[in-house]
Amino acid sequence: METFRINRSLILAGILFAFLSVFLIWEEQMLLFGIPVALLAIYFAIFNTDKLFLSLFFFTPLSFNIEQFTDGFGLFIPTEPLLFGLMLFLLMQQIRKPVFPNFLWRNELVWAVGLYLIWIFVTAITSELPLVSFKFLLVKFWFIIPVLFYGSSVFLKKANIRSFIWLFIVGMIIAMIYTIAVHASYNFGEKESHWVMWPFFKDHTIYGAMVAFVIPLLIGLYFSKKHGLLVQLILIAFIVINFIALYFSYTRAAWLSVIAAVFVWGFIHFKIKFSWLLSIAAFIGVFVFFSWTSIEQSMAKNKNEHTTENFEKRIQSAANVTTDASNLERINRWTCAIDMFKERPLTGFGPGTYAFEYARFQRPENLTIISTTNGDAGNAHSEYLGAMAEMGIFGLISILALVYALFYKGIKLYHAWPKEDKEFRILILAMILALVTYFVHGTLNNYLDTDKASVPIWAICASFIALDYRLKNTKESDSQSAVLD
């Protein structure tokens, strides 16, 4: 009952926060809003750090960027100030009395994260814009230290993992209902779908990515255990809302990422060897390489535009590289990233610098109606190519190693988890599939520098670390008991 009371209070606080946020944004009274939130955060940080930590997952989908109300200063309120404050508080606590668990430093996932951070630091030193790169590194720290390091300790209690999933889902459902309601007032038009999620999401691509991310978590919660009738009905309603939001996000990458998650579920469920999966991927890669000319000719004949609201035609438009401006601009960004990598293959231009540097790498034949001559309109549209352009070949290797370690640990944990504990076995699988939706989406877009994606992804990483420790401890205890017996 205690967990339910905590969740209920956080949910009610979050709903009030959402309404107050929209009102104060409308009235442009951001400073007035910040004072009580800051005082409340300080109180919880001192007297109940765990509750403040769990509240982050509820507030993340409902946070908003104050950039448009300032002179270009971007900050997601309230999550990033909370994360930054929590990071400082935890580091001070760590000096006085360790708050990060010792088992953290022995986990392979943490090693992968450590290598990733070390390489960001190295390339920040050699960066074209060191100030931008060290700011990028600081942002990584305020995501990773509170969510991953501290979260690994909080999530030793399995109930807190359940709370994290529920709180993030409820926050997302509120954002979805708000978006659907606003979108409905414009008759679900495609053009309006790009901004109706404001102020909670910048555009439909990040919104679609996180809507897709929630689907496996919701389905996992539904099937994880036998719920009471009321909870069952709530989950069914949430699932329906989630699929409506996914459809009207008009985000092709999000749709395709959900399909990819279904395929991965099949591989995991039927225990198909990972080597087979790599072999299939290699075969597809070789086939595409040797058949690229004919594939390119077929895509050139594809005239389906992403602006159509017809589902089938929008899926077909994903392969249109002739007239679809969105696809053409993505290719422009990818080409720039590859050319940037060729110029600086070892250290890249520096973490977070792509948006400032890619302009001069744009080729005239690749420019589109949505290109900018200043090259100031966003990122590389790929987690992997972006890392390669900004941090060189080792930057690409570091993020691929991190993704590999995350899935390896998750899938291994799922197969090793006791079958008697059906609930968490299903929740582990749901978290793996949620990650699939994001990292498949990550081939076409990149959002790990935002709270919307980073907070839940690092939380899942922390969950895997905590559950892995619990599993090893349980096996060691059973083994010691057997010897004593």
List phi, psi (to 5°) of 320: -85, 105
Question: 228: which 2 tokens?
Answer: 């009471």
Q: How far is CA 292 from the centre of its chain?
A: 31
Distance CA 155, CA 57 (A): 13
Phi and psi (nearest 5°) for 131?
A: -60, -45
Ramachandran sector of residue 381 (left: φ over 0; alpha: ψ -120 to 50; beta: rest):
left
Radius of gyration of the chain, Cα coordinates, nearest whole angstrom: 23
Q: What is the value of pTM for the model shown?
A: 0.85
Query: What pLDDT was estimated at residue 181?
Result: 97
Domain boundary assignment for the chain: 95-276+380-476
Integer Cα distance of 188 and 203 in angstroms: 15
Tens digits of residue pLDDT in 229-263: 999 999 999 999 999 999 999 998 899 999 999 99
Query: Of 305, 321, 179, whose CA–CA distance to 248 is shortest?
Result: 179
Half-sphere exposure of residue 206, counting CA atoms within 13 Å on the CB side? 25
Regions of the chain with pLDDT less than 50 = 1-6, 27, 292, 295-296, 302-303, 311, 315-323, 479-485
C-alpha 352: how far from chain center: 17
pLDDT of residue 479: 45
Apex CA 57: angle with CA 53 and CA 58, to 5°? 110
What is the reported pLDDT for 375?
A: 52
CA dist list (Å): 359 to 24, 102, 367, 370, 445? 36, 46, 11, 13, 18
CA dihedral 195, 197, 198, 200 (to 10 degrees): -150
Task: Name the residue type at position 417.
Answer: W
User: Which pLDDT score is estimated for 485?
Assistant: 35
